[in-house]
Amino acid sequence: MEPQSDNGFAKGPTPAGKRQRIFGLDNRPVAARRPWCPLLIGLLAVAGCVASFAAAPGVVGGCGAGLALIMLAIAIIDWQSFIIPDWLNATGLALAFAHAAVLEPDQMLPAAGSAVLRAVGLSLMFYLVRYGYARVRGRQGLGLGDVKLAAVAGAWLDLAVIPIAIELAVLAALSGYLVRQIVLRRPISATTRLPFGFFFAPAIWLGWLIGATWF
């Protein structure tokens, strides 16, 4: 059996003279393929930080800015490799507990406990989806990195916002895939790999932004 990434997909050495293709792109670093990508990434990072402080000034906004940077890093890495590093998920989770404590300084333990319960519940739901899909289809459709990212989402987002973030991610993933297939004139396939973290990570930050602005 070939070694697998944490998303359950086989990985191995690339044949000579051929670059591995991921979602229609080769696996060279972003800067090597698109010289303007570092500038775009920098602009997105600045925009995320500015929007976070605008939605919630002070320490809470600083936590949101940190979330924006972590989710941006996860999106880029998942797009490149279909792998979400554990250390990024762990950092996002730790920052979520700090965020909960800052939001309710007089109720730190209950706030942290609620964040833990949401994290466990949402990650368990994602794991059950992963397990059920594998049993029905005989192949992995959701990576363990995405399951761990779901824990980050649960720890950061209120119950009312979690469905919004998931819907945003799913709609963005499906829309992006359909547009790509149409533009490249390729048939729709149920076995095409999608880097779900690329869509889910920004949706988590957007969910936090929505919650900080309107809830």
Task: For 64-105, write each residue's pLDDT tens digit.
Answer: 999 999 999 999 999 999 999 999 999 999 999 999 999 988
State the amino acid at position 129 in one-letter form.
Answer: V
Which phi and psi (to 5°) does residue 22 adopt?
Answer: -125, 110
Q: Is residue 32 predicted with pLDDT exceeding 90?
A: no
In the prediction, which pLDDT does 33 show? 55
The mean pLDDT value for 179-201 works out to 87
**Which tens digit of pLDDT belongs to each residue from 114-132?**
999 999 999 999 999 999 9
156 neighbors 166 (Cβ within 8 angstroms): no
Helix (H) / strand (E) containing 22: strand 21-22
Q: 37 or 1: which carries more pLDDT confidence?
A: 37
**Among residues 187, 67, 141, which one has the least CA distance to residue 75?**
67
Tell me the pLDDT of the chain averaged across its residues: 86
Q: What is the DSSP letter of 27?
A: S
User: What is the reported pTM?
Assistant: 0.82
- Please check whether residue 89 is in contact with residue 151, taking contact to mean a CB–CB distance below 8 angstroms: yes
Which letter, b or e, does each residue of 196-206 get, where b requires 16 or more Cβ atoms within 10 Å of its Cβ? bbbbbbbbbbb
pLDDT of 115: 96
